[in-house]
């Protein structure tokens, strides 16, 4: 394995390292390591130190993983390097989660030692006009990737005779073919069918962004509402652009079955797109924060007499929401950027299982 490829793989680790290092700085100020706290407590010295220690711990872990990968993979073949890469990434995520659990436990103990945090009146704040506002960009934008997918099918079927009886499906880092497929209507339509599946998946994500449970800070309701609207709009726009771009790249790969397209172009375009999406997603996370917590907005002042209702009992390990009395299926994550499921809602399990079955079943069915 050449040094350039190793450097490329290390570069691919960075988008995994960065979010797990800086997540505590991107979450809402009313939540710390999966534990609800008063907004003013977010700036306390002890909690600041906890965020810093968590970040440094994961940063050191990321450096160790990188060094181990570099010296172990050097001079080894591609298969060994791919397996090692997967193992080390999994190890980083697993150890990072263990580190989170330690800080989650410390945060719960700190909250128990500060009973005054929960003595203020607790409120659930709801804005009845929230749904009347433009929370996400229209799902009609997904007509574009859907039409691209249909066009891929039409072009494939009308030019079926141009596809060789045996065509490449996968390449290694050196540009050599590692997997071949035999031509059939099922096999050549795999990519366009996956385009339609991904279009529907991105449309579903955009719907979640607009329909997910409303979360308004009791201490600063006006600021929280404005931040949350911007938060949803930004990620909605990102989802639409990312989805359309990905479907277009899939079409480019599909066209390569029938027409002579420069092999380097087929490798460079997806790579540049992937890097661009990763960079933009990190920038969005840094500038927006969870729920829009890092967006600066001007309001009429700050109300420190009330706090959000303490619902820690519904958050298992501070990450997994179980509340059978809550009709909401989707809501904001407590530790991270984006949305999660109400795992006590049966429909939540049905949706997740359906997405996974289609993702793994379609390639098996059409392959």
pLDDT digits (tens, 9 = 90+) for 75-91: 888 888 889 999 999 99
* Dist. CA 212–CA 326, nearest whole Å: 12
* Dist. CA 327–CA 346, nearest whole Å: 10
Cα atoms in the Cβ-side hemisphere of radius 13 Å centred on 86: 5
156 within 8 A of 325, measured Cβ to Cβ: no
Q: Is the pLDDT of residue 306 over 80?
A: no
Extract the tokens encoding 166. Answer: 């045996």
- Residue 1 pLDDT class (50, 70, 90 cuts): low
**Which runs of consecutive H residues, i.e. helices, occur in the chain?**
3-26, 45-73, 78-112, 143-158, 185-188, 190-211, 221-255, 263-288, 346-366
* Dist. CA 97–CA 335, nearest whole Å: 11
Backbone angles phi, psi at 169, to 5 degrees: -115, -30
Angle 3-26/45-73 helices, nearest 10 degrees? 170
* Dist. CA 263–CA 270, nearest whole Å: 12
66 vs 167: which has the higher pLDDT: 66
CA dist 111 → 25, 144, 177, 278, 293 (Å): 19, 49, 57, 35, 21
**pLDDT given at position 13:** 92
CA dist 62 → 23, 55, 65, 87, 104 (Å): 15, 10, 5, 14, 20
* Dist. CA 219–CA 206, nearest whole Å: 29
Q: Is the pLDDT of residue 200 over 60?
A: yes
229 within 8 A of 133, measured Cβ to Cβ: yes
Cβ atoms < 10 Å from Cβ of 308: 23
**pLDDT given at position 126:** 72
- By residue count, the chain amounts to 367
For CA atoms 330, 331, 335, 336, the dihedral sign is positive
> Which residues are bridge partners to 321 per DSSP?
315, 342
103 within 8 A of 73, measured Cβ to Cβ: no
What single string gives the DSSP state of each residue in 54-98? HHHHHHHHHHHHHHHHHHHHTT--HHHHHHHHHHHHHHHHHHHHH
* Dist. CA 288–CA 117, nearest whole Å: 27
104 vs 12: which has the higher pLDDT: 104
Extract the tokens encoding 130. Answer: 């929230």
> Which residues are bridge partners to 179 per DSSP?
170
Extract the tokens encoding 311. Answer: 């619902």
pLDDT digits (tens, 9 = 90+) for 259-298: 988 877 888 898 899 999 999 999 999 999 999 988 887 6
362 within 8 A of 197, measured Cβ to Cβ: yes
Q: Is the pLDDT of residue 299 over 90?
A: no
pLDDT digits (tens, 9 = 90+) for 249-260: 999 999 999 998
């Amino acid at each position: 394995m050449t040094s350039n490829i190793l450097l490329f793989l290390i570069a691919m680790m960075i988008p995994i390292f960065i979010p797990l290092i800086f997540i505590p700085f991107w979450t809402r100020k009313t939540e710390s390591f999966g534990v609800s706290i008063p907004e003013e407590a977010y700036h306390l010295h002890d909690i600041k130190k906890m965020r810093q220690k968590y970040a440094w711990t994961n940063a050191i872990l990321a450096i160790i993983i990188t060094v181990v990968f570099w010296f172990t993979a050097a001079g080894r073949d591609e298969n060994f390097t791919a397996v090692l890469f997967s193992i080390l990434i999994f190890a980083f995520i697993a150890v990072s989660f263990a580190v989170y659990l330690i800080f989650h436990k410390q945060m719960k103990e700190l909250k128990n030692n500060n009973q005054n945090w929960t003595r203020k009146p607790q409120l659930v704040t709801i804005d009845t006009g929230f749904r009347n506002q433009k929370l996400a960009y229209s799902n009609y934008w997904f007509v574009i990737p859907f039409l691209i997918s249909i066009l891929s099918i039409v072009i494939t079927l009308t030019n079926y005779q141009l596809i060789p009886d045996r065509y490449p499906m996968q390449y290694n880092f050196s540009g050599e073919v590692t997997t071949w497929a035999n031509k059939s209507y099922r096999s050549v339509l795999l990519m366009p069918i996956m385009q339609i599946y991904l279009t529907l998946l991105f449309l579903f994500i955009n719907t979640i962004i607009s329909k997910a449970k409303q979360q308004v800070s009791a201490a600063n309701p006006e600021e929280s509402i404005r931040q949350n609207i911007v938060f949803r709009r930004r990620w909605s726009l990102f989802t639409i652009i990312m989805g359309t771009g990905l479907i277009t790249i899939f079409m480019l790969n599909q066209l390569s079955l029938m027409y002579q397209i420069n092999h380097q172009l087929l490798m460079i375009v997806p790579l540049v797109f992937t890097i661009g999406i990763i960079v933009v997603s990190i920038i969005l996370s840094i500038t927006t924060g969870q729920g829009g917590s890092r967006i600066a907005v001007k309001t009429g002042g700050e109300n420190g007499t009330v706090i959000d209702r303490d619902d820690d009992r519904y958050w298992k390990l501070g990450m997994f929401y179980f509340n059978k009395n809550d009709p909401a299926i989707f809501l904001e994550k407590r530790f991270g950027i984006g949305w999660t499921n109400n795992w006590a809602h049966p429909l939540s399990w049905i949706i997740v299982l359906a997405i996974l079955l289609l993702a793994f079943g379609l390639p098996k069915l059409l392959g």
